[in-house]
Amino acid sequence: MKKHIWSKVYFFLVLAILYLPIFYLIYFSFSSGSNMDHFKGFTWRHYQTLFNDGRLLAILLETIMLALLSSLIATILGTLGAIAIENVKKSGVKRLLLSLNNVLMVSPDVIIGASFLILFTTLGFSLGFASVLLSHIAFSVPIVVLMVLPKLREMDNSLIDAARDLGASYYQVFSQVLLPALTPGIVSGMFMALTYSLDDFAVTFFVTGNGFTTLSVEIYSRARQGIDLEVNALSTIIFLFVLLLVGIYYLISNQQGKKGSKLGGLLR
């Protein structure tokens, strides 16, 4: 029994280390000093600065918009792609498509960023919101494909036959049978695409140009100039927001019956 106690202690130690930097940031967001070494008296000042910083708030909003838009388009593309791959009859072609699909999954971000940069310049595409959006869509498509494919394979093929047998048109089969069966995969694929986009720094950094910035890039450039407690205030807000989302998710999944809804889809 003793072994179990130590394993618990160890787990909570790891958990504590995971949260330490986050709470460190939050703690100093209330410090009236200018560094993260010594706490100097409580203040809301950094939050006031943050909420008056129109530029940063705009970037925050744009980042969220970018994530929503890119994940939505990537989900549509990826779902179509998964269906297309599953429909391919020749196993050689299928394998080729799958390998090409996985190229972006296994490539280091710097390579993706660099090669997209070359691509956009070669095509004469100006760098900015559009190039970032296209890049985010591009690197989110393969994960959606990978999340939808297993659902397609699991699906009972006789379902489609049954629908055809009952007189459903091709479009009806797609919307009434295929899509509902794929929904769990599509949803988790979209969720992954969303986190990919919100999380990305490296690719965006390469293709962003001068006009457009995402939150990651903005934090990077501020952090390179040293400590800025406005960034701490921003992390508090982000943390609270994430906490809220997770709380809502947890409540919903708990209500939907406790048959162990898998959290797998929540990871990048």
CB contact at 8 A, 181 and 165: no
Q: Which residues, numbered 111-130, are part of the site for another protein (CB under 8 A)?
A: 111-119, 122
Q: Is 167 in the site for another protein (CB under 8 A)?
A: no
| Residue nearer to another protein on the CB measure, 10 or 44 | 10
Q: How far is the CB of 54 from another protein (least distance, A)?
A: 20
Q: Residue 107 in 3-state DSSP?
A: coil
Other C-beta atoms lying within 10 Å of the C-beta of residue 120: 20
Q: Of residues 57, 65, 162, 223, which one binds another protein by CB under 8 A?
A: 223
Q: Distance (Å, rounded) from C-alpha 219 to C-alpha 125?
A: 26
Stretch that binds another protein, among 95-103, 148-156, 157-165, 179-187 (CB under 8 A): 95-103
Stretch that binds another protein, among 40-48, 98-106, 157-165, 181-189 (CB under 8 A): 98-106
Q: Of residues 57, 58, 65, 103, which one binds another protein by CB under 8 A?
A: 103
Q: How far is the CB of 162 from another protein (least distance, A)?
A: 18
Q: Of residues 1, 2, 54, 87, which one binds another protein by CB under 8 A?
A: 87
Q: Is 150 in the site for another protein (CB under 8 A)?
A: no
Q: Is 207 in the site for another protein (CB under 8 A)?
A: no
CB contact at 8 A, 146 and 105: yes
C-alpha R_g of the chain: 23
What is the contact mask toward another protein in residues 38 to 77, using x (rule: CB under 8 A)?
A: x--------------------------------------x
Q: Is 18 in the site for another protein (CB under 8 A)?
A: yes
Q: Distance (Å, rounded) from C-alpha 26 to C-alpha 1?
A: 37
Total residue count of the chain as it appears in this document: 268
Q: Is 235 in the site for another protein (CB under 8 A)?
A: yes
Q: Distance (Å, rounded) from C-alpha 105 to C-alpha 145?
A: 11
Structure tokens at 251: 């409540």
| Residue nearer to another protein on the CB measure, 17 or 166 | 17
| Residue nearer to another protein on the CB measure, 162 or 266 | 266
Q: Is 17 in the site for another protein (CB under 8 A)?
A: yes
Backbone angles phi, psi at 42, to 5 degrees: -75, 140
Q: Of residues 168, 172, 202, 209, which one binds another protein by CB under 8 A?
A: 202
| Residue nearer to another protein on the CB measure, 15 or 57 | 15
Q: Is 233 in the site for another protein (CB under 8 A)?
A: no
H-state helical runs in the chain: 2-28, 45-52, 54-87, 91-106, 109-122, 129-154, 157-165, 170-172, 179-199, 202-207, 215-224, 229-255
Stretch that binds another protein, among 48-56, 151-159, 160-168, 258-266 (CB under 8 A): 258-266
Surface-to-core class of residue 80, CB atoms within 10 Å of its CB (0-12 exposed, 13-18 middle, 19+ buried): middle
Q: Is 155 in the site for another protein (CB under 8 A)?
A: no
Surface-to-core class of residue 157, CB atoms within 10 Å of its CB (0-12 exposed, 13-18 middle, 19+ buried): exposed
